[in-house]
Chain A
C-alpha cells in the first residue's frame, strides 16, 4: 500500500479515530462492566459493589447448572447438524453452480434471514402444531393415524428452529473460504492421481476450515444464548442459557444475570481466540481487505 493512501493529518485521525474509539468503547465497556457486576452482591433492591462469588456459586450448584449443561449440549449438537447442512450447500454453490447463479442463490438465501427470526419461529410453531398443516397432511396421506405430538414442544422442534434461524448465516463464511481456494491446487491433486473424494478430504476440506470454524462459532453462539426458539418451540420449562438470563433479569437479580452472561460471553471469547490463533483473519477476509 502506498504512502499517499495512508496520508493522514490530525483532522483525519480525529474524524476517523473518534467514531471508531466510540464504537470500541460502546462494545467493550459494557462487557467488562458485566464481568465486574457478576462479582457484586445482590441486595433486596438492586446490587452493591463488592467481590463475591455468590452468584457463580449459586449458578454452578443449582438448577441453572443443568440449563448450562443442556445449552452446551444443544448448542454443540445443533452446530454439527447445521454444519452438515450448510457445508454441502456452500460446496454446491461454490463448485457446482455457474457464477451468476451463485450470486442469485446467495441472495435468495439471505432474504428470509432478514425477516425477524422470532416471527419465523412463530410460523414453525403453527406449522408443527397438533392441528397444523404438517400433522393434517400426514393424517390425510395416511402416514399417521393420529396427530404426532413430538413435532412441537420437543427437542425436535427446538433443533429445527435453531437450524432454520442460524444455518443460512453459516453458509457465507464457508462459501467465502471455499471460493478463495486456488483451483489449481485441486487440479494438481487430480493430476497426481488422487480420486475426487480424497482430493476433497486432503485439499478442499483443510483449506476451508477457517470458514467452517467461523460458521461453527456463529451457530454455537446463537444456539447457546437462545431465548426465542426455546421458549416458542420448546414449550413450558424448556430453558436455554438465554432464557435463564432473561428470567434472572425479570426478578431483578442483576449479578446473577451478569454472571451467566459472562459465562456465555467467556465461552464465545475462548472460541474466538482459538479461531484467531489458528487462522489468519486476512486469509479469510482477504477479498474485503483488497489484498
Chain B
C-alpha cells in the first residue's frame, strides 16, 4: 500500500473518532467554569450534594444498575444456553434481539401500558424491568460470543466421566465463560446507568440520575451543576469501561 493512501485511511478513521469523542468534552469544560465570571471553579460539584432529589436519584440509579447488572447476564446466559440446547435457535435469537429493533419510546410506552393495565405501580422495579429488557440483547450477544469459543467436546468428556448436566456446566463450562458473564454484567450496568428515554416513560414519581437531568432540561434548562453531574456520569462510565477492558484482558491473555 502506498504511504499516501495509508495516511489518508488513518486520517479518515481518526476524523470519525474525533467526531464521536468531541461531545464528551463540553460537559467537563462547562462544569469547571463559573457561570458568571468564566473562571475555573469546583463549586458546581459542591452544589450537587445539597440537592436531596438528586441524591435520591443517584441512589435509585445505583440500585437499578445493580438489579440490571445481575438480571440481564443471568437471563442472557439462560437464553444462550437454551439456543445451544433447544432445537430452535432462530426463534429464541429473534425474540431476545427484538428490543434492539424497537425504538426506545415504543418499548417504554408498551411496557408502561402493560404495567398500567396489570395494576403495577411505577417503581424502581418497573424501571429496572424496562432497562433489563434493553440490556438483555447485548448481554446475550456477549455471552453467545464467549460460548462459541468454548469447545462442547469438554462437556461430552464431563458426561463420559459421569457428570450430570448441572455438574458439567458448573465445573467445566462456567469457569471457561465466567469472564464473558462478568463482561456482560458490566456492560449491562453501563447501559442501565446511561439510559433515559425508556426509563422516562415508566418512571412515575421516581428519578434516576439520567431522567433527573432530562426533566430538569425540559423544565428549566441546563444549569452548571447539571454539567457537573454529566461529567461525573461520563467519568464513571469511562471507569466502568476500563473494568470491561480488564475483564477482556483476563479472557484473552494473549491478545
* A15 close to chain B: CB less than 8 A: yes
Is A261 interfacial (CB 8 A cutoff)? Answer: yes
- Cβ-defined contact, B13 with A105, below 8 A: yes
Number of B residues with CB within 8 Å of any CB on chain A: 86
Question: Any chain B CB within 8 A of the CB of A88?
Answer: yes
Quick check: is A188 within 8 A (CB to CB) of the other chain? Answer: no
Is A4 part of the binding interface, using a Cβ–Cβ cutoff of 8 Å?
yes
Question: Beyond A8-B85, A227-B104, A257-B109, is A127–B194 a contact (Cβ under 8 Å)?
Answer: no
A285 near B93 with CB under 8 A, answer yes
**Cα separation A24 to B140 with both chains bound (whole Å):** 13
**Cβ contact within 8 Å between A288 and B230:** no
Binding site for A on B (CB under 8 A): 1, 9, 12-13, 16-17, 19-27, 30, 74-75, 78-79, 81-87, 89-90, 92-96, 98-106, 109-114, 116-117, 129, 133, 136, 141, 144-145, 147-149, 152, 155-156, 159, 165-166, 190-191, 194-197, 201, 210, 213-214, 217, 222, 230, 233-234, 237-238, 241, 245, 255
Which chain A residues in 127-163 approach chain B with CB under 8 Å?
127
Q: Does A58 contact B (CB under 8 A)?
A: no
Q: Which residue of B lies closest to A226 (CB)?
A: B103
Question: Is A242 an interface position by the 8 A CB rule?
Answer: yes
Q: Do the beta carbons of A17 and B113 come within 8 Å of each other?
A: no
Q: List 11 A-B contacts (CB under 8 A).
A: A5-B85, A23-B96, A26-B133, A31-B110, A33-B117, A89-B16, A92-B9, A114-B237, A119-B23, A123-B23, A289-B144
Inter-chain contact count A-B, CB under 8 Å?
239
96-136 of chain A: CB within 8 A of chain B: 96-97, 100, 103, 105, 107-109, 111-116, 118-124, 126-127
Contact (Cβ within 8 A) B109 A261: yes
Considering the chains assembled together, what is the distance between the CA atoms of A229 and B97 in angstroms?
A: 24
Query: Is there a chain B Cβ closer than 8 Å to A254's Cβ?
Result: yes
CB distance from A241 to the nearest CB of B (A): 8
Most buried by B among A22, A34, A113: A34
List residues of A whose CB falls within 8 A of some B CB.
1-2, 4-9, 11-12, 15-20, 22-24, 26-31, 33-34, 37, 85, 88-89, 92-93, 96-97, 100, 103, 105, 107-109, 111-116, 118-124, 126-127, 164, 168, 217-218, 221-222, 224-228, 232, 241-242, 245-246, 249, 254, 257-258, 261, 264-265, 268, 271-272, 276, 281-282, 285, 287-290
CB-defined contacts of A85 to chain B, threshold 8 Å: 16
